[in-house]
Amino acid sequence: MFNRIFRKVRDSIKYGTGINVSGGDEHQSQVDSRLDNNLQRLKGIFEGCADVVFREFSLGTEEPVRAALLFVEGLVEMVAINENIMKPLMYEAGHRNPAITNIFKLVKEKALTIGKVNETTNMEEVVEFILSGYAAIFIDGSQQVMLAHVRGGEHRAVEEPSSEVVVRGPREAFTETLHTNISLVRRRLKNPDLKVEMRKVGRRTKTDLAILYIKGIVNEKIIREVKERLNRVDVDGTVASRSLGEIIQDTSWTPFPLITYTERPDKLTAQLLEGRVAIMVDGTPIILTVPVLFMEQLQSSEDYYEGFFPASAIRLLRFMAINIALLLPSLYVAVTTFHQEMLPTPLLISLAGAREGVPFPAFVEALVMEITFEILREAGIRLPRPAGQAVSIVGALVIGDAAVSAGIVSPAMVIIVSLTGIASFTIPGYSFALALRLLRFPIMFLAATLGLFGIMMGLIFLLIHLVSLRSFGMPYMSPIAPATYGDWKDTFVRFPWWAMVTRPRLIGQKDPVRQARGLQPKPPDKDKGGSGNPGSR
């Protein structure tokens, strides 16, 4: 439908402007006061669009006045169209206040029972609003057009998040409807300082986009940077937040995510309270937040619904897991190929016996098994859930056992690859885990050619790359490099809630204090009547 509409446009469309239906003449872009001329013009624009409804009728005044209603079927709520627009205008408009002679004013102030009504005299805006789910009301003899907010249609209900599952915590996830997503955040942040700025992106799709931030907390430099980068976006359309994120991020020449993606309203609320900026794109349940730090990729929402002792222990376990996921196959290849003297003699004899008869070197063996495992994991994701689980589990068992029985790989390599895959599943951020999966292969190649020296060389280059990255101007490795020791309370471990008094310094520096000091629990004072047992008071 949209392609047919925009083929009617004679001038090129620039980002941030409406649909050019004027043919280059500013006067022709205005709405005509004659209804027939407006309808003829709009029917030409919407030619071939069967879902655009043209409803002509007469107002229920003493002297009938011609009017027309335009909307896109499927984008509006039909109950509101029938009960709040058509019925009042056709049957009740003449009984409101006969003293009002201005028909447009009569309809807007005394007849139309819609909460949000805009008005315009620009035909480009009329077309844009109609395609956004509004109903346009034309009245013969009036150059003004009423645009009634009757957005509706079918949409997915709020459900439990599928990719960010927690044992404790809210069970709500964002949907594909922009206004529903905004309401999920507004319900948690009942504060007028939560600002929502709307704009459109895409010359053809005109996709609605919202920028959310908390005024007084957010760094104004980050807000300006976000708006400048969005203003530079000049594409035909965007159908996913990921494609938009790739355009506005600092660089594409890195496997690491420089923008956070979330589908949890509680997580987004916490990020906004720290001073971050959220970007919502209509049509996708994945929300972008900027800036992002490296250490955030190892933090899960579950960490904040558990006590600080188990949460800190699990977080330290994730640090161990990323080292296993990145380095374990490479260490095995390096040690078995170049540094056999590092292994105890019994273990070395056991590994040599297990690899007896394997025709490939350790690097080729690891490469084959890693690629096989990645294929199985990808197949498990793409297939329907019941079939995907069966393929990933049964496939790994059958292929691993068959490969060992055939003498293609050793049992030790199957264990190494299995531990590596399981460790990668513990990483909360999918994009970050994918980056580690990709980096595993070049480090394996360095291990196969240079041994442990190659692994260390690869890690040094990796660290240099990480400290050089920026996310909307913020150092990616903060608060480690540059070192901000005050922010380490929520980095390697999670301190108790009462100890996290300040926000991250580089992000929430405008309002660094987020809670009062001295909130730690204290035992009751027995000298003041406390007994230590609440039930005995």
Find the range with the poorest average confidence among 5-19, 88-102, 177-191, 294-308.
5-19
- What integer is the mean pLDDT of 424-447? 91
pLDDT band at 13 (very low <50, low <70, confident <90, very high): very low
> What mean pLDDT do residues 289-317 have?
89
Q: Is residue 383 classed as helix, strand or coil in its secondary structure? A: coil
Asked if pLDDT for residue 18 goes beyond 50, the answer is no
Specify the range with the lowest mean pLDDT, choosing from 283-297, 380-394, 490-504.
380-394
Q: Band the pLDDT of 4: cuts 50, 70, 90.
A: very low
How do beta strands 134-139 and 66-72 pair?
A: antiparallel
**Position 335 confidence tier, pLDDT thresholds 50, 70, 90:** very high
The residues, any chain, with a CB within 8 Å of residue 495's CB and separated by 6 or more, are 308, 489
Round to whole Å and give the CA distance between 323 and 327: 6
Model confidence at 487: pLDDT above 60: yes
Residue 446 has pLDDT above 90, yes or no: yes
In the chain, how many H helices and how many E strands?
A: 17, 12
Q: State residue 494 phi and psi, 5-degree precision.
A: -110, 120
Please state, in angstroms and rounded to a whole number, the distance separating the CA atoms of residues 138 and 89.
Answer: 12
Q: For helices 411-425 and 345-355, what crossing angle results, to 10°?
A: 100
- The whole-chain average pLDDT of the chain stands at 83
Which tokens hold the place of 367?
A: 């490469």
Interval 331-358 mean pLDDT: 87
pLDDT value of residue 92: 64
| pLDDT at 133 exceeding the cut of 60 | yes
Q: What is the pLDDT of residue 7?
A: 45
Side by side, the strands of the sheet bearing 134-139 are: 52-58, 66-72, 134-139, 145-149, 117-120
Residue of 533 and 90 predicted with greater confidence = 90
Stronger pLDDT, 395 or 449, i.e. the higher one: 449
CA 110 to CA 443: how far, in whole Å?
Answer: 72
What would the mean pLDDT of 21-48 be, rounded to a whole number? Answer: 78
Residue 499 binned pLDDT confidence (cut-offs 50, 70, 90) = confident
**The pLDDT of residue 180 is above 60:** yes
* Helix, coil or strand: residue 66: strand
Mean pLDDT of 496-512: 82
Q: How far apart are CA 59 and CA 93, in angstroms?
A: 7
Among the ranges given (104-118, 165-179, 216-230, 278-292), the one the predictor scored with the smallest mean pLDDT: 104-118
- Count Cα neighbours of 172 within 13 Å in the Cβ-side half-sphere: 15
- What percent of the chain lies above the pLDDT cut of 90? 26
* Tokens 């980068």, residue located: 229
Asked if residue 138 lies in contact with residue 39, where contact means CB atoms within 8 angstroms, the answer is: yes
Pairing of strands 194-201, 207-214: antiparallel
Give the sheet arrangement for strand 277-281, strand by strand. 194-201, 207-214, 277-281, 287-290, 260-262
Both tokens assigned to 54: 């043209």
DSSP category for residue 12: P
Q: Which residues contact 244 (CB under 8 A, 6 or more apart)?
A: 201, 209, 233, 238, 279, 281, 288
Token pair listed for 400? 């691993």
pTM of the model: 0.81
Asked if pLDDT for residue 141 goes beyond 80, the answer is yes
* Band of residue 327 on the pLDDT scale cut at 50, 70, 90: very high
